[in-house]
Amino acid sequence: MDEVIRHRAREIAQGSEAGTPEENWLRAEREFTVAHDYDTTDRDLERVGMTLSRLPSEAGVEWRLTLARGERVEAWEPGTNGLAPPEDIVRLIGSVTAGKSLVPGPPLSRESGALRLREMLEIQRTALVAHDPGVRVGEDPENLHHHRVAARRARAFLRAARSHLDPAWRRPLADALEHLGDATGPVRDLDVALAHLRGELDRLDETDHLAKAMILDRLEDELASCRGRLLETLDGSDYRFLLARLRFPPRLAEGVDEIPLEALAAKEFKRLAGLVGRLGKRPDEAAIHRLRIALKRARYASELATPKGAVRKRFLADARVLQDLLGEHQDAVVAEQRLRGVAIEDVRTAAAFAAGRLAERQCRRRERVQERLPAAWKRLRKSGSRLI
């Protein structure tokens, strides 16, 4: 048996889902010892109400095909064979799978939390696919915005439920989402900064046109470079793995029977409230950035939990208001950083002067946001306390 597992671990190591040698071995071992449901990556069997299960035991492997009306077809293979479905079963489902490869996934859990997590991950996958062409074309920045939000939501859902999910299933998916976020973030930041700064530059009447053009050219060159790295990411194996893995149901951790989404949402809100309690009256930039991240996690965990009427809707509405404020603060921080970089690097006085003027405006913009934060947090705390 060890030799069979070793051979399978080598195969996994050469594929797109490869992990560490230990992770590859554990996955190979599970394929020979743990029950799996098999389907195509497009979930063709599930779409028509069929399931194909592989049930290993010490004596061999039983393959069990359950048809849409409940009929069952079984095939038994002794020993350590049977990693792929028998030909008799493959022929029966050929019209459904249309020759596509069958791949293993965890047995589908009917627990409400797992079903909700899968539903929400599928919504994010659909959004990623829908906006992918627009992100590649790059003409409408809203495509990247929606694409990035979908990836961020998926990552937040996995984080909220992390203690209830199989680490070997969750970690590669979370890593792929993080890698995607690292590529989309700089492009989105520059899209937003340029959209805001074009209007600001038009209002600097005393600045000559050459200086304005120099600032925009510098930022647009940086945007082009970041877009090039983003397109490389979208053509990479991590991104293909991400879209394929999101099709499959979550795999629960060993000994876990449910994902208590309501409790997880309440836990994230308590973390957010604790962070706000430690902020003080004049939080620095790093503290506000941490608040923004904690708010997103609390909001997305609440979205993941089964909706609970007007109370949850009020909380989510208040969370969006506060998140928009914090987003504007972050946009001002990014714009100021980019502009100060232009002012330092560009030796021509007019461009440096204009960039400095704009940077000061971003500073005042941040201060205005900070003045509005306490009232927005007070509303959110009131609506969020009803969820606990």
Confidence band of 1 (pLDDT split at 50, 70, 90):
very low
Query: Which amino acid is residue 21, in one-letter code?
Result: P
pLDDT in tens, 193-235: 888 777 766 665 555 566 667 777 888 898 999 999 999 999 9
Q: Which range has the top average pLDDT, 185-189, 297-301, 383-387? A: 185-189
Answer yes or no: CATH 2.60.120.260 is held by domain 114-387: no
The larger pLDDT score, comparing residue 114 to residue 83, is at 114
Output the CA–CA distances (angstroms, integers) from residue 133 to 105, 177, 193, 359, in the order listed: 28, 18, 23, 34
Beta-carbon contacts of residue 211 (< 8 Å; ≥ 6 apart): 348, 350, 351, 353, 354
How far is the C-alpha of 290 from the C-alpha of 279, rounded, in Å?
A: 10
Instruction: Say if residue 43's pLDDT is above 90.
Output: no
Confidence band of 75 (pLDDT split at 50, 70, 90):
confident
Q: CATH 1.40.20.10 spans which residues of the chain?
A: 114-387
Stretch 9-24: mean pLDDT: 75
pTM, to two decimals: 0.64
Helix (H, G, I), strand (E, B) or coil at 230: helix
Instruction: Say if residue 247's pLDDT is above 50.
Output: yes
How far is the C-alpha of 296 from the C-alpha of 287, rounded, in Å?
A: 14
Closest CA to 66 of 78, 75, 58: 75
Which token pair is 74? 């079984």
How far is the C-alpha of 339 from the C-alpha of 194, rounded, in Å?
A: 11
Confidence band of 338 (pLDDT split at 50, 70, 90):
low
Beta-carbon contacts of residue 243 (< 8 Å; ≥ 6 apart): 125, 128, 129
Alpha helices in 161-260, H assignment, sequence order: 167-202, 209-234, 237-245
Confidence band of 356 (pLDDT split at 50, 70, 90):
low
Q: Which residues of 183-222 are buried (b: 16+ CB within 10 A; e: fewer)?
A: bbebbbbbbbbbebbeebbeebeebeeebbebbeebbeeb
Average pLDDT along the chain:
78
Confidence band of 306 (pLDDT split at 50, 70, 90):
low
In the chain, what percentage of residues exceed pLDDT 90?
Answer: 25
